[in-house]
A and B are shown apart, each in its own frame.
Chain A
């Protein structure tokens, strides 16, 4: 195309031409009369963008989206790329003041418009009021949605101010303003409060904390980094010479690979390395058992080249019919997905120990309960006892497959320097990942360092070495250059993990006094090409029936393997169980909190139930609504428990310097739950230092050992170790101080000299014998020992973990409004009461509970993966078709804690991340029942299901 025309175009469009030579392609020859301004395919264009008031020169291709131009071209990585479809809003920027999604905007359209990104909001080092309000309200967790969310908030704030308003913005209008921004961690109520407060010029407070923010509670330590876009995630890592990797996935649910030739891909432009990912098996390759299984990977100079090369891989499949449908998998004539000799190929669905396959009874595609203890009669005796009781419940329930849908996709940057390897990873297990990588590459673990400074959501899906990690590491070695792989959202929602769907039948017999006498629970978890889930465990731990039988099966299908997801097995367990128990209460006409108190042996759990009763000021709980208007309301109760997991090997280093700074380090992670804040809180409280003098280093496998961040284990592990380190440091400070001030008296936060002068620890640090003075302490054991000591369960991703004698307890009460005409369920509010022992960091704890509630509401009402029944391909591979809770549908929340130290953990605390989300869906379902008088025990509970139940 003629260069003349290009220049004309560039001039006309106000696009600055830089000195870059513009390749002239011949053969204009189009038939159009007159002048055709044109951007020819494949030819770079030099643009001058106005970004935050500065002129930013960038070279792009005609198809380059604005988000890539900003992130890759201008190195402004504050703007995040997530879904790529305009559905999640993570890439929101303001264009001439209006929020737009930068993933669907072309960079070439941007010149001549004023673009504002999150990096441009501060003035003179001071946060924008909306940013400040986000910090104050703790309106963020992992922080990956935050830049986009802040931009939508800023646009609303500016409209509000421009209109000269002083009234309080309504939930409806704020909900509308941020309807295009998804927060997976569940900060929606806090985000809305933050925007409201920013508009009103009022200091925001975290909305869940109905009892007020405790004095001295630390704010989220990385909040400022996250609201300004400075927080660096794996997808933001850019190294010199970095290549871009992409993964080829099998498009068939069931197939045998006949041929796999990487040669043609190697010869494609820009390709620097190609590796096979599908494991070899005797005479060929492992059978493809889900659509999305990894086959090969390519690294090239650009992502477009890598993707083009994937298409060139010569792979031939012998396609077989997949078993996708749940019911089909259990038919006696169903093809067996894992024949006996192939059972080892099933992936591992849960994070608990897995035992040899031969310990389980397999029947086709159904892996039954463990053979031991032997059940001879499928609980027939328990059924007899159920039948003998005056109150009997028989409830069937099912839950859909839930996908983690972290806003930061699975991402890895692998960088070899000689035989040393640095892996930047969006992971919740840095050390386990380092160890996995070392094993896979056959190098000593000391040569591998894994870094995860900020992690944009994990929820269980980012534990251990995944295929994209293996691919990046191998590609980087082959290419002798750093390689980044960020899994595209379609693949991320398809192949990187999910919570199994479940089906349950629960039969309960209760006596006339409301005591549960016999419980028979059959549970099935549909784990895809994996096994290891349990969805009935809580039935025994929560209630203590005289007779109980659980059948806990895994059903395999030709679909992507499940992986752990926040409280594996428990939310579906609670969804079914707590509806069955609610049914007992309803039959007896007893308040469901009272019914649960009848069962209670644990004083702590009883205290949680009583606190919930005291705090609930919504509709009565014992009522099934008689109202038959269009909008009806009801309130439902559900309860939960969760283990207190501990990593006994966890160590924390406390490093004090003579200039009065403290740094606490351990290899834990902040995936949004607030590990930085918890550690900093311990440091501030322990030594009485100002927060600015306490620093935290985490997210690095080279730091002192810590378990992965899952199962609510982190704080239970590092907090006691940190306290031990601080105690040791305090001794050193007292000693050092006493040497300088003989006769000084030890007080809690320093020394008091004989002259009566108080010397705080900060001052004593100047007297430390070494600079820095370093203490490394191991987590002290639980009082009275563990319930289950660390076992050499299977290997990584688990560093040794034990189970404490403590338990966490929770109750949630949800109020819903059901539209009987359109079937929509709206959760109006949720009250959560948790016993998680003594809190380390109250603000982030309350946020985590709020997030658990939001995820639980999302699970109950919206989320459900759908597969094509004939091919097993995922039809919900975008955030348009896989629906997540939006702000406009988010309930009000109130979070209360039973602030009572635990009996056994050294720090008196217990975790709370899992227990925050377990009860929610059951509470919502029970509330729907109380509202409409019909039970619809199914997730997601869609409008049509409600209408069908009412018909």
Chain B
């Protein structure tokens, strides 16, 4: 399919050019939009290429935390020493995403806003909700990869591993909205949207452009880790993944963030686990008790019940890494 590529002169211009038009998408690293264009999967007809907007790239330490430009590649995020030292959860998450070649191209902003990896969506012969159809084929079909929460309409899981880490870090997004507004949207708001809308992947309109990510300086010392369950150690999509950031008062968990990925339409905080950690020392009994609640309230589909156990075990494995 023929493709038009537009090169905006600045951020506002980019958002204007996008204009929310059907078939128009931003191109950052291109690993999703170029793939979909070539495979004919919701193929963009016009790409607004952000590649030359240099302002969107780079990692910067500020007084109140870190700011990462949306076009910073996952390789750069994972390779940034200061950032990695302070926020290992983000480094580990980026490092386990995709392959080295893809990480060298894929950007943090693009990772947050890529389309889902559901094999039905990515199959040319299924016209699901997201491609203008009237149904989800995974729910009555093979839903082994799919969501165990938020799965009433579209059952695809959110595809971004870094998103789980950013939610655990209480990160905020600098967003340029259509019409010219620039606002900060925190990850919790970004991941809060009406899941009955099968097309939605986040709370932002399509034309909204994520400019960068801010990671606020935590109020207390933290312990952080990312872990996943997957058949292969590397270069695989996670079956279930967990990002944990614990703010500590000495040995006691003061404020826990336990986020599950690959289980819902969005990265999902396991509040039931967090509550059982807050105010406790991180010992084996507390971890075992808390992680057993990681999948509370899940509504698995016929072929993905295994994800509830994987969720509990992945949370447990991640917390166990943080005991010392």
Chain B binds chain A: yes
Which chain A residue shows the least CB distance to B228?
Answer: A822
A886: which B residues are within 8 A, CB to CB? 232-236
Least distance between A9 CB and chain B CB atoms (Å): 6
Cα–Cα, bound, A36→B4 (Å): 12
Least distance between B161 CB and chain A CB atoms (Å): 14
With A824-B230, A886-B232 as contacts: A62 and B142 at CB distance below 8 Å: no
Complex contact B104–A100 (CB within 8 A): yes
Complex contact B236–A86 (CB within 8 A): no
Interface status of A611 (Cβ within 8 A of chain B): no
Interface status of B193 (Cβ within 8 A of chain A): no
Complex contact B105–A101 (CB within 8 A): yes
Which chain B residue shows the least CB distance to A887?
Answer: B234
Identify which of B5, B141, B144, B320 contacts A870 (C-beta below 8 A): B141
Complex contact B235–A62 (CB within 8 A): no
A669-715 at interface with B (beta carbon < 8 Å): none
Interface status of A4 (Cβ within 8 A of chain B): no
Chain B binding surface, main DSSP class: loop
Interface status of A33 (Cβ within 8 A of chain B): yes
Complex contact A41–B2 (CB within 8 A): yes
Least distance between B234 CB and chain A CB atoms (Å): 4
Identify which of B5, B104, B232 contacts A38 (C-beta below 8 A): B5
Residue interface bits B121-158, CB-to-A below 8 A is 1, else 0:
01111100000000001001110110000000000000
Complex contact A868–B31 (CB within 8 A): no
Cα–Cα, bound, A30→B6 (Å): 11
Least distance between A267 CB and chain B CB atoms (Å): 19
Residue interface bits A936-947, CB-to-B below 8 A is 1, else 0:
000010111001
Complex contact A104–B34 (CB within 8 A): yes
B236: which A residues are within 8 A, CB to CB? 883, 886
B154-207 at interface with A (beta carbon < 8 Å): none
Complex contact A866–B102 (CB within 8 A): no
Identify which of B4, B75, B98, B316 contacts A821 (C-beta below 8 A): B316
Which chain A residue shows the least CB distance to B122?
Answer: A878
Which chain A residue shows the least CB distance to B6?
Answer: A38
B142: which A residues are within 8 A, CB to CB? 866-869, 875
Cα–Cα, bound, A873→B230 (Å): 24
Q: Which of A161-169, A171-179, A201-209 contacts B (4 or more CB under 8 A)?
A: A171-179
With A85-B35, A105-B105 as contacts: A36 and B119 at CB distance below 8 Å: no
Q: Which of B216-224, B260-268, B306-314 contacts A (4 or more CB under 8 A)?
A: B306-314
With A9-B7, A61-B2, A86-B101 as contacts: A821 and B233 at CB distance below 8 Å: no
Interface status of B285 (Cβ within 8 A of chain A): no
Interface status of A823 (Cβ within 8 A of chain B): yes
Identify which of B49, B237, B306 contacts A944 (C-beta below 8 A): B306
A877: which B residues are within 8 A, CB to CB? 119, 123
Cα–Cα, bound, A85→B235 (Å): 13
With A40-B4, A889-B233 as contacts: A823 and B102 at CB distance below 8 Å: no
With A41-B4, A821-B317 as contacts: A100 and B232 at CB distance below 8 Å: no
Q: Which of B9-17, B56-64, B250-258 contacts A (4 or more CB under 8 A)?
A: B9-17
User: Interface size on B (CB < 8 Å)?
Assistant: 69
Complex contact A870–B233 (CB within 8 A): no
Identify which of A92, A868, A943 contacts B310 (C-beta below 8 A): A943
The listed residue with most A CB atoms (<10 A of its CB), out of B6, B124, B316, is B6
Interface status of B100 (Cβ within 8 A of chain A): yes
Complex contact B239–A943 (CB within 8 A): yes
Complex contact A104–B35 (CB within 8 A): yes
Residue interface bits A23-49, CB-to-B below 8 A is 1, else 0:
000000011111111111110000000
Cα–Cα, bound, A9→B6 (Å): 10
Complex contact B104–A99 (CB within 8 A): yes
Cα–Cα, bound, A869→B101 (Å): 34
Least distance between A521 CB and chain B CB atoms (Å): 29
Complex contact B7–A826 (CB within 8 A): no
Interface status of B80 (Cβ within 8 A of chain A): no
With A36-B7, A943-B230 as contacts: A868 and B317 at CB distance below 8 Å: no
With A104-B34, A251-B125, A866-B144 as contacts: A36 and B6 at CB distance below 8 Å: yes
Interface status of A223 (Cβ within 8 A of chain B): no
Complex contact A179–B31 (CB within 8 A): no
Least distance between A525 CB and chain B CB atoms (Å): 21
Identify which of A33, A40, A944 contacts B309 (C-beta below 8 A): A944
Interface status of B30 (Cβ within 8 A of chain A): yes
Cα–Cα, bound, A175→B140 (Å): 38
Interface status of A342 (Cβ within 8 A of chain B): no
Interface status of A98 (Cβ within 8 A of chain B): yes
The listed residue with most A CB atoms (<10 A of its CB), out of B95, B125, B145, is B125
With A822-B317, A880-B237 as contacts: A100 and B4 at CB distance below 8 Å: no
Chain A binding surface, main DSSP class: loop
Least distance between B61 CB and chain A CB atoms (Å): 24
Identify which of A32, A108, A181 contacts B16 (C-beta below 8 A): A32
B276: which A residues are within 8 A, CB to CB? none
The listed residue with most B CB atoms (<10 A of its CB), out of A92, A108, A176, A875, is A875
Complex contact A870–B234 (CB within 8 A): no
Complex contact A176–B100 (CB within 8 A): yes
The listed residue with most B CB atoms (<10 A of its CB), out of A32, A34, A105, A179, is A179
Complex contact B119–A179 (CB within 8 A): no
Complex contact A944–B2 (CB within 8 A): no
A36: which B residues are within 8 A, CB to CB? 6-9, 13, 17
Complex contact A106–B30 (CB within 8 A): yes
Interface status of A856 (Cβ within 8 A of chain B): no
Residue interface bits A853-876, CB-to-B below 8 A is 1, else 0:
000000001100011111101111
Cα–Cα, bound, A150→B132 (Å): 43
Interface status of B99 (Cβ within 8 A of chain A): yes
Cα–Cα, bound, A85→B117 (Å): 12
Cα–Cα, bound, A944→B314 (Å): 11
Complex contact A98–B75 (CB within 8 A): yes
A532: which B residues are within 8 A, CB to CB? none
B95: which A residues are within 8 A, CB to CB? 176
Complex contact B3–A63 (CB within 8 A): yes
With A886-B232, A888-B234, A943-B230 as contacts: A875 and B3 at CB distance below 8 Å: no
B102: which A residues are within 8 A, CB to CB? 86, 101, 104, 180
A878: which B residues are within 8 A, CB to CB? 122
Cα–Cα, bound, A40→B46 (Å): 9
With A38-B5, A873-B125 as contacts: A180 and B99 at CB distance below 8 Å: yes
Cα–Cα, bound, A465→B36 (Å): 32
Complex contact B229–A824 (CB within 8 A): yes
Interface status of A147 (Cβ within 8 A of chain B): no
Complex contact B4–A39 (CB within 8 A): yes
B144: which A residues are within 8 A, CB to CB? 866
B2: which A residues are within 8 A, CB to CB? 41-42, 61-63
Complex contact A868–B137 (CB within 8 A): yes
Cα–Cα, bound, A951→B5 (Å): 53
Complex contact B6–A92 (CB within 8 A): no
Complex contact B6–A87 (CB within 8 A): no
- 21 A-B residue pairs with CB within 8 Å: A33-B16, A39-B5, A84-B35, A86-B101, A87-B99, A92-B101, A101-B105, A103-B38, A104-B102, A106-B5, A175-B233, A180-B101, A826-B233, A866-B144, A875-B119, A877-B119, A877-B123, A883-B232, A883-B236, A942-B231, A944-B307
B contact set with A: CB distance below 8 Å: 1-9, 13, 16-17, 19, 30-31, 34-35, 37-39, 45-46, 49, 51-52, 75, 95, 98-102, 104-105, 117, 119-120, 122-126, 137, 140-142, 144-145, 227-237, 239, 306-307, 309-310, 313-314, 316-317, 320
Q: What 13 new A-B contacts, CB under 8 Å, besides A822-B310, A870-B140, A888-B233?
A: A37-B9, A41-B4, A62-B3, A63-B1, A86-B102, A89-B99, A98-B75, A99-B100, A101-B101, A822-B317, A823-B229, A868-B142, A873-B126
Shortest 4 CB-CB contacts between residues of A and residues of B: A180-B99, A944-B306, A41-B2, A37-B7
A contact set with B: CB distance below 8 Å: 9, 13, 30-42, 61-63, 65, 84-87, 89, 92, 95, 98-101, 103-106, 108-109, 152, 175-177, 179-181, 251, 291, 304, 490, 821-824, 826, 861-862, 866-871, 873-878, 880-881, 883, 885-886, 888-889, 940, 942-944, 947-948, 951
